[in-house]
Chains A and B, each alone.
Chain A
């Protein structure tokens, strides 16, 4: 019965191809936008989480900020922000604001006191000091491109460093100013051809940067993961990875002994959001006498949910527009079905003369409306997915298509067809047979 009706419906749609297509247009546009939005939205939030997942959500950025710079609760992503070296996100200061002097920054004593004050509630304070952005680590003729950072032990946790061999920089390396380094698998591959990470432990490397040469002993090798987002055209052997040395060693050559930002790692089970404001409070008294600068803190968890929220809101807004166009599409289906019923009044009369019940006629026209809507929906899905794919590749984020969404969309467009087709179908069903037969 249903199958017969579907064949019948397809037959009558094919008889009016152009009209059917125009009728579907509203639904096509609606479904296309829904699918495209969902694809882009899902892909964007996946990409954001992917980007931020290198940090723990328990990371709290603690950074120097001008006191006049009242940012309220504006999420960071709505301002321009930079990933801090120690493993967090720090907002860029306004171009008008003045740069902090050395004495405005956090001293090592201050940082140690802070770590002490929050002992138990934080798993350490990650510090990083860039030494050389573009350096080369060499072993004879072979080289690896590296960026050199001086870091402390807490850096490992804050940046989710995964070691494949050896250990990370530890507290005694920092205390003893040891000339040790932790490098990436990639650097090992490039620098010691054919060497395993384990075999590289204890070997020495030289770094060439800023005209100086330094020698370090490798104590650890970390896992190299190429970022999903990097589409660099750099050759494998020129890929630049980070090389970590003790922060105290880095400080020896540094004029600036203080820090503009550090990253605290919240201990397990601690409420990150309230810890963040406690940290701000703590530094408020520390910086009470500084007129221009203070310390602000923000956490990844709030940032992540702020971004997700914003994405959700944008999606909602566009979904609303899509819903309106689906409504218009549905009304279009209803309109064309009314025309179709009028055109086929005689046919309806004939069917009734041959014994069709009202329910037969109703089902026939509802099926036809549902088919129009479903075909429109399927076209919409195809266009939406290809449009979404194009947008996603333009935005350079990974593509995510949810099969449940696709299935749901087909069901949904069928419901639109049934809902808006019901009234015309019912009108057809209730026609008086003799009036329908006599219709000119």
Chain B
């Protein structure tokens, strides 16, 4: 599903203070896996995630998503990949302000060109799934952190993507709410969706089937978790 070979990411390339945040990272994830990425702050987790999500490009190395290399794709083609294959969940939710929960969930469908009625039907279904149906008409400002994150998860699922990329989705939530969000991810994963999740919480990481540890831009460990989710 995810095949990243020799990924290197550097900033300020060619200048004296060149900064290499990812060093020859090889990252492979099979379909249906639930992978947790852990590591110290600044170790390059988000950087890696953004590359995997086709939001950012590696300085060198090859990356293929679902068998399709992304290097040569145009901006519009990358937009289409993000739209159809990837669902993002962010630490700070990134819901569109002033737009209702329902309309937020509809966004990926909107950009895919799905008609209004079908968009709404699908979005309501997803809000139901994350138990947010009663708040469909509320704007983000009127929701708690956990509620926002549940809406964001519903949104990430809107286009039925093969992969969910979540960068510290529980980072802004208390541990109880965090567990609830993790529970949703576990359920989604059981449906056969691939999940890559960044977390600082070792307890949550152990709920995944596989934990990858990054340190200083390099993968230092990659282990299966017994009793964790599908690995």
Same assembly: yes
Q: Which chain B positions have C-beta within 8 A of A15?
A: 98
Are B55 and A433 in touch, CB under 8 angstroms? yes
Are B94 and A346 in touch, CB under 8 angstroms? yes
- Which residues from chain B sit less than 8 Å from chain A, CB to CB? 50, 53, 55-56, 75-76, 79-80, 82-84, 88, 90, 94-99, 107-108, 110-112, 116, 155, 159
Residue-by-residue, is A343-379 near B (CB-CB < 8 Å gives 1, otherwise 0)?
0001101111111111110000000000000000000
Are A355 and B56 in touch, CB under 8 angstroms? no
A12 on the B face (CB < 8 A): yes
Residue-by-residue, is A315-357 near B (CB-CB < 8 Å gives 1, otherwise 0)?
0000000000000000000000000000000110111111111
Cα-based distance from A346 to B92 in the complex (angstroms):
11
The 8 Å CB contact of B82, one of A8, A346, A347, A353, is: A353
Are A357 and B76 in touch, CB under 8 angstroms? yes
Question: A258 to chain B: closest CB distance in Å?
Answer: 85
- Given the known A-B contacts A347-B96, A347-B97, A350-B94, are A355 and B53 also in contact in the complex, defined by CB atoms under 8 Å? no
Q: Which chain B positions have C-beta within 8 A of A346?
A: 94
- Given the known A-B contacts A12-B98, A347-B97, are A354 and B75 also in contact in the complex, defined by CB atoms under 8 Å? no
Interface residues on A, range: 20 to 34
A110 on the B face (CB < 8 A): no
Are A434 and B56 in touch, CB under 8 angstroms? yes
7 A-B residue pairs with Cβ-Cβ distance under 8 Å, sorted by A, are A350-B94, A354-B82, A354-B88, A354-B107, A355-B84, A357-B79, A357-B80
Question: A69 to chain B: closest CB distance in Å?
Answer: 73
Are A356 and B79 in touch, CB under 8 angstroms? yes
Q: Which chain B positions have C-beta within 8 A of A354?
A: 82-83, 88, 107-108, 111, 155
Cα-based distance from A329 to B173 in the complex (angstroms):
46
Which residue in chain A gives the minimum CB-CB distance to B57? A434
Q: A354-B88, A354-B111, A433-B55 are in contact. List 4 more A-B contacts (CB 8 A).
A: A8-B99, A12-B98, A15-B98, A355-B83
A100 on the B face (CB < 8 A): no
Are A351 and B96 in touch, CB under 8 angstroms? yes
Within 20-34 of A, Cβ neighbours of B (below 8 Å) are at none
Cα-based distance from A376 to B212 in the complex (angstroms):
56
The 8 Å CB contact of B159, one of A351, A355, A359, A433, is: A355
Cα-based distance from A357 to B79 in the complex (angstroms):
6
Question: B151 to chain A: closest CB distance in Å?
Answer: 13
A437 on the B face (CB < 8 A): yes
Cα-based distance from A358 to B82 in the complex (angstroms):
13
Q: Which chain A positions have C-beta within 8 A of B95?
A: 350
Q: Which chain B positions have C-beta within 8 A of A355?
A: 79-80, 82-84, 108, 111-112, 159
A120 on the B face (CB < 8 A): no
A4 on the B face (CB < 8 A): yes
A11 on the B face (CB < 8 A): yes
Q: Which chain A positions have C-beta within 8 A of B76?
A: 357-359
Q: Which chain A positions have C-beta within 8 A of B82?
A: 352-355
Q: Which chain A positions have C-beta within 8 A of B159?
A: 355
Cα-based distance from A352 to B110 in the complex (angstroms):
12
Cα-based distance from A347 to B97 in the complex (angstroms):
8
Q: Which chain A positions have C-beta within 8 A of B79?
A: 352, 355-358
Cα-based distance from A263 to B93 in the complex (angstroms):
87
Q: Which chain A positions have C-beta within 8 A of B111?
A: 351, 354-357, 360
- Given the known A-B contacts A4-B110, A354-B88, A354-B111, are A11 and B98 also in contact in the complex, defined by CB atoms under 8 Å? yes
